[in-house]
Amino acid sequence: MVSEEQSLESGKKFEPLEIMGIFWLVFGIIVLVSTFFVEATEQVPLVRGRVTNIIAGVLLLGAGIFSIVKAGINKRKSEKNANSQS
């Protein structure tokens, strides 16, 4: 019984912030790459479309990096709390 509890504690824990961060990071990269394939239309000039995509891509990248960093901080805090309780 004790060995099962120890193996569960030493295993990876589910970090939703890390998963969301990876998603936003990949999505931001996709948006930035798609900037090169934007064509001008009558309603939206080329410059406005590219600037909008660049801003959206940078915001998504920022959100992704922030989520991944925050997940790492939370993981370290939970490991520190688990070690101090042992």
16-20 average pLDDT score = 92
More confident residue, 82 or 43: 43
Residue 19, pLDDT above cutoff 80? yes
Distance separating alpha carbons of residues 46 and 41, to the nearest angstrom: 7
Angle value at C-alpha 30, between 64 and 56, nearest 5 degrees: 60
Amino acid at 75: K
What pLDDT is stored for residue 8 in this prediction? 53
Query: 62: Cβ–Cβ under 8 A, 6 or more apart, which residues?
Result: 28
Question: Confidence band (pLDDT; 50, 70, 90) for 10?
Answer: low
Residue 7, pLDDT above cutoff 60? no
Closest CA to 70 of 13, 14, 17, 23: 17
Residue 58, pLDDT above cutoff 90? yes
Q: Ramachandran region of residue 75, left (φ > 0), alpha (ψ -120 to 50) or beta?
A: alpha
